[in-house]
């Protein structure tokens, strides 16, 4: 059997497949359909300092091979997360990565510190890239702010810090380097691409928020390029995200330089998508006599060496 064990800095995973924030609830809803303990890790919905109601509906709309969402970070807030959601998530033998978002550098540090006091959390993912709330994007579009927010979060915890970046920038490698300089142990690439859709009958935007984040197969080539470029720009491990629907897609990300992947929108369509990706990667390794998944990472073959 090929080894699927993966390391993201200090974080050890039994396989490189995690669920993406905002697409897996708090795990509870999927328990009847998915054996959570088989996952490499679970990243839960973004938690904020205060509860958030989220945006008015319609919050989603389907587009060509993808969807737009503007949920607006609806969540119960850190206090209730710790009291009500964490005890459930802790029961599973799977690394739990808590995704947090704040409106200020202090918010991020506060959330990171508060969560570090709790048991059963394997790492913190900083969502500095949500396109659907004010301030969300500001961090990940500015290298200086990115470095500052990561450094403050890092100083507030002993847990590994993962920075989740926005693709809605001119040069994502600048932001990736800034996050590395701030002390991030790993990067998650990417969050959704900002987009919109119009109902021509009513001439209204299809989302109440007018714009939303595009996810699904439509963004895969774009996300893949972002991972490929950042993998060459930084030393820290990268988690590839964007339109991964099956093992084939996940393998593309690993070969392009991702150490692990997250499965998002695919879970909506196939609740067991992440598990199918794990077994598909296993099959590929067997079929190609590759003993260890880490051998695949960044193994892209090019003539030019570029």
Partner 1 sequence: MQQTTALIRGRDEVARGHYRLKLLQADVAAAARAGQFAHVLPRRADVYDPMLRRAFSILAVEGDTFDILFRVEGRGTAELSRRRTGEELDIVAPLGRPFAAVPQRAVLVGGGVGVPPLAMLAAQTRREDGRHRAENIEQNTLRQTNSSHDLIAFVGARSKEELLCLEMFADLQVAARVATDDGSAGLHGRVTELLEAHLAAQAGEKHPTIYACGPLPMLRAVAATCARYNAPCQVSLEENMPCGIGVCNGCVVRAAQAGNDYELYKRICVDGPVMWTHELDWQHAATTRG
Ligand X SMILES: Cc1cc2nc3c(=O)[nH]c(=O)nc-3n(C[C@H](O)[C@H](O)[C@H](O)COP(=O)(O)O)c2cc1C
Tell me the C-alpha distance between 264 and 261, whole Å: 10
Cβ-contact 264, 305 below 8 angstroms:
no
Quickly count: other Cβ atoms within 10 Å of residue 120's Cβ. 13
Tell me the C-alpha distance between 267 and 87, whole Å: 23
Measured in whole angstroms, the distance separating CA 165 from the mean position of its chain's CA atoms is: 9
Q: In this chain, which of 127, 146, 168, 259 binds ligand X, going by CB under 6 A?
A: 127
Could you say which residues in the range 170-209 bind ligand X, by CB under 6 A?
Answer: 191-192
Provide, rounded to whole angstroms, the least separation between the CB of residue 70 and ligand X.
9
Active-site residue, selected from the candidate residues 44, 61, 130, 230? 130
| 243 counts as binding ligand X under rule CB under 6 A | yes
Which of 95, 243 has the CB closer to ligand X?
243
130 as an active site residue: the answer is yes
Gyration radius from the chain CA atoms: 18
| 112 counts as binding ligand X under rule CB under 6 A | no
Helices (H), the chain: 77-80, 86-90, 105-116, 136-140, 143-155, 172-182, 220-233, 247-256, 266-269, 273-287
Q: Which stretch binds ligand X (CB under 6 A): 26-34, 102-110, 155-163, 238-246?
A: 238-246
Which of 99, 209 has the CB closer to ligand X?
99
Which of 15, 215 has the CB closer to ligand X?
215
Provide, rounded to whole angstroms, the least separation between the CB of residue 183 and partner 1.
31
DSSP string, 11-55: EEESSSEEEPTTSSTTSGGGTTT--GGGSSEEEPPPB-SS-B--P
Buried b (16+ CB within 10 A) or exposed e, 260-286: bbbbbbbbeeeebbbbbbbebbbebbe
Binding residues vs partner 1 (CB under 8 A): 22-25, 29-30, 32-33, 45, 50-54, 56-62, 64-67, 69, 71, 74-77, 80, 206, 216-217, 245-246, 265, 267-272
Which of 2, 89 has the CB closer to ligand X?
89
Which of 4, 71 has the CB closer to ligand X?
71
Residues in the chain: 306
What positions carry a catalytic annotation?
130
List of residues contacting ligand X (CB under 6 A):
20-23, 45-46, 69, 71, 73, 99, 127, 130, 164, 191-192, 215-216, 219, 241-244, 263-266
């Amino acid at each position: 059997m090929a080894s699927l064990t993966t390391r993201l800095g200090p974080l050890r995973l039994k396989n490189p497949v995690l669920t993406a924030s905002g697409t897996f609830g708090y795990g509870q809803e999927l328990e009847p359909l998915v054996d959570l303990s088989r996952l490499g890790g679970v990243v839960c919905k973004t938690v904020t300092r205060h509860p958030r109601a989220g945006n008015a509906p319609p919050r989603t709309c389907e587009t060509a091979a993808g969807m737009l969402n503007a949920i607006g970070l609806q969540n119960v807030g850190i206090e209730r997360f710790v009291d009500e959601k964490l005890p459930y998530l802790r029961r599973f033998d799977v690394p739990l990565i808590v995704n947090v978002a704040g409106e200020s550098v202090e918010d991020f540090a506060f959330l990171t510190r508060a969560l570090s006091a709790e048991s059963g959390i394997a790492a913190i993912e900083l969502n500095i890239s949500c396109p659907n709330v004010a301030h969300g994007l500001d961090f990940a579009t500015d290298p200086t702010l990115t470095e500052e927010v990561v450094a403050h979060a890092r100083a507030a915890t002993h847990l590994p810090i993962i920075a989740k970046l926005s693709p809605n920038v001119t040069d994502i490698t600048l932001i990736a380097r800034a996050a590395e300089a701030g002390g991030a142990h790993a990067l998650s690439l990417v969050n959704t691409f900002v987009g919109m859709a119009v109902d021509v009958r009513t001439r209204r935007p299809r989302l109440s928020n007018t714009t939303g984040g595009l996810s699904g197969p439509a963004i895969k080539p774009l996300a893949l390029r972002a991972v490929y470029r950042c993998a060459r720009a930084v030393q820290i491990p990268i988690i590839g995200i964007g339109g991964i629907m099956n093992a084939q897609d996940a393998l593309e990300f690993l070969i392009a330089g991702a150490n692990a992947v997250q499965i998002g929108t695919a879970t909506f369509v196939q609740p067991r998508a992440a598990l199918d990706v794990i077994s598909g990667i296993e099959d590929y390794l067997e079929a190609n006599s590759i003993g260890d998944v880490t051998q695949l990472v960044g193994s892209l073959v090019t003539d030019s060496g570029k």
